[in-house]
Amino acid sequence: MQTVHDLVRLAAARRPDHVSIVDDRTERRLTYRELLVEIDAYAAGFAAQGLGPGDIVATVMPNLFEHALVLLALHRLGAVPAMINARLKPEEAAGLVKQGGMAGAVTLPDEAMVRALKETLRQGAPVITAGPGPAGTCTLDACRGDPKAMAPWKSPDPEGLAFVLYTSGTTGLPKGVMVPHRATDARVLYMSMQCGVMHGTHNKVLGLMPLFHAVGFFSGLMGALAFDGTYHLCSVFDPVRAMEAIERHGITLLYGSPTHFHGLLAAPNFSAERIRSVQTVIYAGAAMPGPLLERVAAAFPGRKMTNIYGTTEIMNGLYFPEPAGKPHHYRPGYYSNVRVGRIGGTVEDEAALGEEGELLIDATADATFLGYLNRPEATAEKMHGGWYRTGDIAVRLGDGDLEVRGRVDDMIITGAENVHPYEVEATLARHSGIAEVVVLGVSDERWGEIVVACVKAGGTRPSEEELDRFCRESTLANYKRPRAYVFFDEIPRNAANKVLRRVLRENAHAALSSKKA
């Protein structure tokens, strides 16, 4: 077993003078040798603040250079970083800190956030800020200790808790996903097995996904460091700046959500010349709509392209190489045994070939989480007899592939008919006047739910009649046609670029009610 620290230290032994991390704001860069010293210095500083092995420490930080160092240093100390989305409101972040019984926090010097965390943590627990913060906090700079004070690294218990990552909470309160040390290898190595990433200093990764997300941390940061590569921090995703960074640094690996690729292709400075250095394109987090997938594949001809399906709990369950033309097709990942179970049935109750069911993933794989932090009832809901219930609808196809059709919870039931948003979205996405579309069910007295399309127009806004005509002329069954269209300037998304369906549903409901009134 290699832990995260093992992977960094082994890379440092192989390539001490190679650049490990580059900051996009300051251009600060650290060689692997320097990175190890920084990690030890911060780890020693955290120890001096009273933090130690086994302590769960909240990191509530945006994508900063310091964020990467803090995560690696807490881990080096034997503490457990609990990676909380910095976009949460102070009271929400504090709620997670309380729920997790955390021993300290590292955050931005934001007064409201620091106050909420201090009120929640036990008296005297350290709150460390990246920059000068309110009284009673310690700045990260002041918190560097003597790197030589750190005892040599000892390999921990493989089952021991290494990291707490949070579910996106698009449908409820985020849950703390406890990731053990033994999960690291599999969470990183699939990039080689399934996405064709070769070991070597040529790897230059643009950190598109946030560091607090499983993909941002294990595949972005660790996907660079474990492979002797260089991680280029992306503190905010600005497509124009990202295009410049790709060209300037000769980025070889782009791993983002479909929204990132949508943004890159729409950037005014996008050109084939600028992305010449890119060898590998990986996307995850959501299915990429067919038309976008075709455009991305055409923009990156000859590159290795992979669709990765995963969840924070099991990491990478399914994948599909060269997905163009098959946006919803998947295969089990190299460490994943999967099953399609009857919806509402037991995990032993398997759906037939071609029948829709819930995707179940073998939870005995090393990459699997230990459970949700202090939420045994939530763990019991998702884990049954060694299987993890994903909550995603899948169908087994004859050739061994699977089709994933979205979340069980997102399925719309209208007049007793089931409608999958993805099918309606895929149809509408082909309309030239639509930049983005999300289809959801809005409650309705007569039909139970009606199919509603939430549209972000691209260029001139098409009329509802035009979109309805477009659907009628398509292969979409009549009952699947949206009964209403609501136009939005932006589709609300969380920091990991997942659509905030609950927010969107409320907004759509409000817009439709005011239209009726």
Query: Which one, 43 or 308, has the nearer CB to ligand AMP?
Result: 308
Residue 310 in the binding site for ligand AMP (CB under 6 A)? yes
Residue 274 near residue 243 (C-beta atoms within 8 A): yes
Stretch that binds ligand AMP, among 81-89, 188-196, 304-312, 442-450 (CB under 6 A): 304-312
8 A C-beta contact, residue 238 and residue 246: no
Residue 371 in 3-state DSSP?
strand
Task: Determine the residue type at 15.
Answer: R
Q: Is 63 in the site for ligand AMP (CB under 6 A)?
A: no
The H-assigned helical ranges of 177-313 are 184-195, 214, 222-225, 239-249, 258-266, 290-299
Near ligand AMP in 403-462, by CB under 6 A: 404, 407
Residue at 169: amino acid letter: G
Q: Using the rule CB under 6 A, which residue among 217, 300, 309, 447 binds ligand AMP?
A: 309
> Site mask, ligand AMP, residues 249-268, x = CB under 6 A?
--------------------
65 or 217: whose CB is closer to ligand AMP?
217
E strand or H helix at 111: helix 111-120
What is the closest distance, in whole angstroms, from the C-beta atom of residue 263 to ligand AMP in the complex?
17
Residue 263 zone, left/alpha/beta (φ > 0; ψ -120 to 50; rest): alpha
Which of the stretches 18-26, 27-35, 301-309, 371-379 binds ligand AMP when contact is defined by CB under 6 A? 301-309
Asked if residue 34 lies in contact with residue 72, where contact means CB atoms within 8 angstroms, the answer is: no
Q: Residue 145, SS3?
A: coil
Give the pairing of strands 104-107 and 127-129. Answer: parallel
Work out how close the CB of 497 gets to ligand AMP at its nearest, in angstroms, rounded to a whole number: 10
The token duo for 386 is: 């060694």
Task: Give CA–CA dist 509/445, Å, rounded.
Answer: 13
Q: Does 307 bind ligand AMP (CB under 6 A)?
A: yes
Between 88 and 103, name the residue whose CB sits nearer to ligand AMP.
Answer: 88
Stretch that binds ligand AMP, among 70-78, 237-245, 271-279, 305-313 (CB under 6 A): 305-313
Beta strands 329-332 and 315-321, pairing class: antiparallel
Q: Does 341 bind ligand AMP (CB under 6 A)?
A: no
390, 414, 427, 497: which one binds ligand AMP (CB under 6 A): 390
Q: Given candidates 287, 338, 440, 499, which one binds ligand AMP under the rule CB under 6 A?
A: 287
C-alpha span between 460 and 457 (Å, rounded): 7
Question: In this complex, which beta carbon is closest to ligand AMP, that of residue 63 or of residue 167?
Answer: 167
Using DSSP bridges, classify how beta strands 161-166 and 80-84 pair: parallel, antiparallel or unpaired: parallel
Residue 389 touches ligand AMP, criterion: CB under 6 A: no
The pattern of x and - marking residues 160 through 179 that bind ligand AMP according to CB under 6 A reads -------xx-----------
- What Rg value do the Cα atoms of the chain yield, rounded? 23
- Report helix, strand or coil for 270: coil
Of 137 and 311, nearer to ligand AMP (C-beta) is 311
Rule CB under 6 A: say whether 308 interacts with ligand AMP: yes
Distance of closest approach, residue 244 Cβ to ligand AMP, in angstroms: 27
- Token digits of residue 57: 């420490």
In the structure encoding, which two tokens stand for residue 314, read together?
A: 């099991």
Sign of CA dihedral 87, 91, 92, 96: positive
Query: Is position 493 an interface residue for ligand AMP (rule: CB under 6 A)?
Result: no
Of 168 and 230, CB closest to ligand AMP:
168
Q: How far is the CB of 174 from ligand AMP (least distance, A)?
A: 9
- Per CB under 6 A, residues contacting ligand AMP are 167-168, 284-287, 307-312, 390, 392, 404, 407
